[in-house]
Amino acid sequence: MESLDLRVLSDALNWRTSGHGVTLVTVVETWGSAPRPAGAMLAVRDDGVVSGSVSGGCVEDDLIARIKSGEHAGSKPSMIAYGVTKDEAARFGLPCGGTLRLVQEPLLDMGWAYELLARTANHELLARSLTLSTGVVALRTATRDEAMKFDGLTLTTMFGPKWRLLLIGAGQLSQAVAQMAQMLDFEVLVCDPREEYAATLRLGNVIRVEGMPDDVVREMKADAHTAIVALTHDSKLDDMALMEALKSDAFYVGALGSRRNQATRKTRLIEHFDMTEADFAKLHGPVGLRLGAKTPAEIAVSILAEIVEAKNATANSLDKTPTQEDCAL
């Protein structure tokens, strides 16, 4: 499943290739209760067709009207602000006096878009830097701990799979989790040494990782942008992965199984593998939120809901969202 941001760029590229004029709008700063976060994007075609969103519908109509009228026509990026005053916030439906500052960028030379889409399709994480004074775009390899940055002169945005999810097991539940996780912009990796299960894995953008689970977890060097979930229901495989995962920096570690199974697992690993009570502090087991889920799809929803909750808490501690003082506008 395509990232929403990449879908916006793909649509913009297709429109430009077809001869349309296209403007890319990016949220660079919010304060108050703005509906969409910094980094949200909207592509507007010259006839008013749009892809993406920068406000959840509050200001899109005004943006479309401005762009269709040529109000901000030009070859270089420019700034737009909404909700600076209380009256304007009310006019555009921005809640609680929320404010948006946007960069409006006419898309001319799209060579960078071809490269960005090709490289992110190969699971690369890229930073795209836009110099506002010239409109020049540059791409470079990014790291998972980078976030969107805007200093009033240069806008740097991230594209590609910033968050990773390693699934131990390739069964029906894993495939449901993998499919949904891709919709949430996770890079999904699956490890299952049981060929009879791994052979059924047929999800286009999922990466199958060869090897035993403990070796895979150890070699991937799980960081604070990585989640690991053991779903084989085979203690020999799940326990091996969990022993390494619980010692890593992964922001989320989960394991399938009932409360009784989790207690048995804990006792087994403490008695026979020198693990401690502290090692189990971050284990989510039984994995997932308590939704009364029964089917693989419902269980996948419960697992991913809990992962997203943990991810967003981690993101708040890792990423610094630009504030009014950070941006020299």
pLDDT tens digits for 283-304?
998 999 999 999 999 999 999 9
Return the number of other C-beta atoms located less than 10 Å from residue 96's C-beta.
Answer: 9
Is the pLDDT at 68 greater than 60, yes or no?
yes
Where is pLDDT greater, at 101 or 199? 101
Provide mean pLDDT across the span 167-187: 92
The pair phi, psi for residue 67, each rounded to 5°, is -70, -40
Helix (H, G, I), strand (E, B) or coil at 132: coil
CA 140, 116, 82 angle in degrees (round to 5)? 90
Nearest alpha carbon to residue 130 among 162, 159, 103: 103
> Quick one: pLDDT at residue 197?
82
pLDDT tens by residue, 101-128: 899 999 999 999 999 999 988 888 999 9
> Can you say whether residue 211 is alpha, beta or left, with left for phi > 0 and alpha for psi between -120 and 50 degrees?
left
Q: How far is CA 209 from CA 216, 265, 310, in A?
A: 7, 25, 24
> Quick one: pLDDT at residue 265?
87
Nearest alpha carbon to residue 177 among 212, 203, 215, 199: 203
Measured distance CA(151)–CA(153) in Å, rounded: 5
> Quick one: pLDDT at residue 266?
87
Quick one: pLDDT band at residue 328, thresholds 50, 70, 90? very low
pLDDT tens by residue, 142-174: 998 888 999 999 999 999 888 999 999 999 999
Helix (H, G, I), strand (E, B) or coil at 179: helix
Q: What structural domains does the chain harbor?
A: 4-160 (no CATH), 163-314 (3.40.50.720)
Cis peptide before 286 (omega within 30 of 0): yes
> Quick one: pLDDT at residue 268?
86
Quick one: pLDDT band at residue 70, thresholds 50, 70, 90? confident
Average pLDDT, the chain: 86
What are the residues whose beta carbons fall under 8 Å from the beta carbon of 278, sequence distance 6 or more? none
Is the pLDDT at 93 greater than 70, yes or no?
no
Under DSSP, the state recorded for 192 is -
**Two tokens at 127?**
């930073």
Is the pLDDT at 324 greater than 70, yes or no?
no
Helix (H, G, I), strand (E, B) or coil at 109: coil
Is the pLDDT at 202 greater than 90, yes or no?
no
Quick one: pLDDT band at residue 66, thresholds 50, 70, 90? confident
E strands, 147-192, are 149-150, 154-159, 163-168, 186-191
Amino acid at site 116: L
Nearest alpha carbon to residue 232 among 279, 173, 284, 283: 173
Quick one: pLDDT band at residue 14, thresholds 50, 70, 90? very high
Which of 54-68, 176-190, 210-224, 295-309 bottoms out in mean pLDDT, i.e. has the lowest?
54-68
> Quick one: pLDDT at residue 327?
36
